[in-house]
Amino acid sequence: GRTERWTDHAAPDILPSLAASGGRVLLVWQTLRRDSFDIYYRLHQNGVWSAEAAVTANAANDWEPVAAASSDGAFHVAWDSYRGSYDVLLRTLSRSGTWSPEIAVAASPSLENHASLAADAGGRVWFTWEIGP
């Protein structure tokens, strides 16, 4: 297919991740907006990309998004964030287009970052991440 520009914002847009399910594609990436790094997304469905929008809006920095699609058509997005310590967080975009609240997947005084994410045929979501001191 042809090359498409997925964002035209002047800020750096880095670390894209894609997930696909049922003819839909979710694109997530890390970007510098509102004086902190946030996670943004666009959804491709019915041949059209949505406008970009925020997955995260916390004043803390959010990094390294990863995306996975589950068998029910939902998209899951995990990332790490520094909110007093480095933690791994998750939000889910339902098939109907509603985002879940943030869920802390790994939250302790230790460093938790560099998440990986997958969904199996049974709809279970699997995570891995690094743990440091």
**Cα–Cα distance between 111 and 92 in angstroms, integer?**
23
In 3-state terms, what secondary structure has residue 110? coil
Do 75 and 67 meet the contact criterion of CB atoms below 8 Å apart?
yes
Place of tokens 């990986």: 116
For 84-112, the pLDDT digits (tens) are 999 999 999 999 999 999 999 999 999 99
Mean pLDDT, residues 7-36 taken together: 93
Residue 83 has pLDDT above 80, yes or no: yes
> What is the residue-averaged pLDDT of the chain?
94
Rg (CA), the chain: 15
Shortest CA distance to 58 belongs to which of 115, 123, 3, 102?
A: 102
- What percent of the chain is modeled with pLDDT above 90? 81
Residue 18 has pLDDT above 80, yes or no: yes
**Cα–Cα distance between 9 and 30 in angstroms, integer?**
12
Residue 133 has pLDDT above 80, yes or no: no
Residue 75 has pLDDT above 90, yes or no: yes
How high is the pLDDT of residue 36?
Answer: 92
Residues facing residue 65 across a β-bridge: none
